[in-house]
Structure 1
Amino acid sequence: MAGKLAIAANESDDLLADLKRLGFTEYEAKIYIQLLRMPPSTAYEISKGANVPRPNTYHALEALAQRGAVLPVSENPVRYVAAPPNDFLAALSNQTRALCADLSERLSSIAPSSKGEYVWMLRGEGNVHSKIDTLIEESDTSIWIKASDTVLRRHKEALRKAAARGIEIFIVLFGPDAEEFRFGPTCRVYIHEGNGVRMGTTDNLFTVSIDHIETLTATVEGEVVAAYTRNGPIVNLAESLVRHDYYMAEIFARLGPQIDEAFGPYLRDLRLACFSPEQAASFKKRTGLS
């Protein structure tokens, strides 16, 4: 019994905290929860049940009524009921969304144009992958990606919907199966260097460019961190990275044996000539070459 009471108390504390995050005062949150438990109630009954001083109860009830959170349902004495949570919170969500959209437009009109020169940092797996999905969903003309299949699978549904909208999708893939990510006639997929093997630390990045105007590059192993920008030169740099890997994929598809003969498997001789010791060690571990 004591355990159940403790759980109920913790749940009530959580509800109070979340309502306060939505703009309720401590007393307003307590009164709204009390009325959900015991409708309809007079101000006296609410004050007693919610443990709120009576003068504060009248003030809080008036504020809640103005917000549509409670409704008076009788006179002499006045009794109140709480608005159904689904209806009230849906209305609050719509009002907040409309207010945010209006504020965004008005505040943007007074802010100086940044012309996209900033680079914004995002941290955390959820934040980064949510941003990637948003970029894909809001694309208008094109999506260019360089990524591994293990990461790209998290965004297959968003990419499939983009392809259905006719968006040009261009993917350089680390992985063996290009067909897995061909979602239609507007979607082209190329296996990186003809084999899809990741060689070094830069091959563990996820890079996406949207509509040739914005780009995001993320580390997706260990701590997940991303850089997002609309800076023109950086967007061009990201697209050049994807474009040149496409060139390499096509060259390997046609001249793979000759390239291996000239430079060794996986461009071994070229890579080891310029890799750092750490990169060289990673390359040898991944490929089994020396």
Structure 2
Amino acid sequence: MTDDESEAVDAFERLGLTSYEAKVFIALHRLGSGTARDVANVTDVPRSQVYSVAESLEERSLLEVQQSSPIRYRPVSIEEARNTLEQRFERERERAFDYVEGVKEESSTEETQEDLWTVRSRDRVDSRVVDLLSQAENRIIFGTRLPTFVTESIERTIRERAADGVSVLVISRTDEIRDQFDAIDGITTETPPDFREGDQRSGRVVVVDGESILLSVVDDDGSETAIWSSDSLFASVLIQLIEASDQLRPESD
């Protein structure tokens, strides 16, 4: 079996066929039609197994059986097979996600959970920061001491939210970071309190709409670990502590 055929068999397996079903289906398209002997001669499927595999493919509406002696098999057209498998995939997908949705609804009615999530690695923290910033509707607080923690996507998202009318406060002791945002309408920059001068472990802080928060630290090996939470008691209390500073208090206060 060639590499291309092996990949095709693997693809059919991902669509719900067994390995033998995929091989017999492919073989019949190569032959046009054939007996169990013909199929066994061009595949590694034993002749004794071809009969049951063909019966299964017939049940799946992927081949037709000619009641002759010996019995001959003919595959349905490529287009018909494609439609059959697509419809099957759609039905299975709906069945699976309908079940998950039902389970989700049941759990949400039974219990309210406080969610605190941990994210490790720079790339994943970057993605989570962008996701949280993108959801902002009223106010963003973003702080970091490290220019490398202000990625292009993070800077772009902050600028876009400010342009959409979201109030943005950028906090950093690093001139380079404040200079990035200083002249942008809707963005205010601040320097953190003096007692933070010796800080070498903080990574980023993100507060969105007073409901979501992310805090990260720089690990000993230079990697980043963050915790984040949204719409939880944990997030509410921590955000209140952070915004207790006069510098971080919302403008409406």
TM-score normalised according to structure 2 size: 0.61
1:143 matched residue in structure 2? 140
Residues 47, 233 of structure 1: alpha-carbon distance in 2 compared, 3 angstrom cutoff: same
Name the CA distance, whole Å, in 2 between partners of 1:100 and 1:185: 47
Q: CA offset at residue 206 of structure 1? A: 1.4
Q: Which amino acid aligns with 2:238?
A: L
Does residue 162 (structure 1) correspond to residue 156 (structure 2)? The answer is no
Q: Which amino acid aligns with 1:246?
A: Q
Q: CA offset at residue 152 of structure 1? A: 1.6
SS in 1 for 2:180: helix
Name the CA distance, whole Å, in 2 between partners of 1:158 and 1:182: 16
Q: CA offset at residue 225 of structure 1? A: 2.2
Which of these residues, 217, 225, 235, is aligned with residue 219 of structure 1?
217
Does residue 51 (structure 1) correspond to residue 44 (structure 2)? The answer is yes
Residues 83, 233 of structure 1: alpha-carbon distance in 2 compared, 3 angstrom cutoff: same
Which of these residues, 150, 153, 162, is aligned with residue 152 of structure 1?
150
1:46–1:57 contact (8 Å) kept in structure 2: no
**1:211-266 Cα shifts (integer Å, max 9, x gaps):** 2112122235533322122333444424643663836xxxxxxxxxxxxxxxxxxx
RMSD: 4.8
1:41–1:81 contact (8 Å) kept in structure 2: no
Q: CA offset at residue 151 of structure 1? A: 1.0
If each structure's helix is expressed as a fraction of its own residues, which one has the higher value? 1
2:251 matched residue in structure 1? none
Query: Where does 1:112-127 land on structure 2 (aligned, <5 Å)?
Result: 112=108, 115=112, 117-127=114-124
2:127 matched residue in structure 1? 130
Which of these residues, 109, 116, 123, is aligned with residue 105 of structure 2?
109
2:233 matched residue in structure 1? 232
Query: Where does 1:67-78 land on structure 2 (aligned, <5 Å)?
Result: 78=74
Q: Which amino acid aligns with 2:107?
A: A
Q: Which amino acid aligns with 1:146?
A: G
1:244 matched residue in structure 2? 245
SS in 1 for 2:148: helix
Q: Which amino acid aligns with 1:51?
A: D
**1:11-42 Cα shifts (integer Å, max 9, x gaps):** 8777766776676644466678x48xx66854
1:41–1:80 contact (8 Å) kept in structure 2: no
2:54–2:63 contact (8 Å) kept in structure 1: no
1:174–1:191 contact (8 Å) kept in structure 2: yes
Residues 58, 104 of structure 1: alpha-carbon distance in 2 compared, 3 angstrom cutoff: same
Any stretches of 5+ residues in structure 1 without a counterpart? 66-70, 248-290
Q: CA offset at residue 140 of structure 1? A: 2.9
Query: Where does 1:21-100 land on structure 2 (aligned, <5 Å)?
Result: 25-27=18-20, 34=26, 41-42=32-33, 51-52=44-45, 53-55=49-51, 57-58=53-54, 61=57, 78-80=74-76
SS in 2 for 1:212: coil
Name the CA distance, whole Å, in 1 between partners of 2:225 and 2:8: 32
Name the CA distance, whole Å, in 1 between partners of 2:197 and 2:14: 45
Any stretches of 5+ residues in structure 2 without a counterpart? 67-71, 249-253
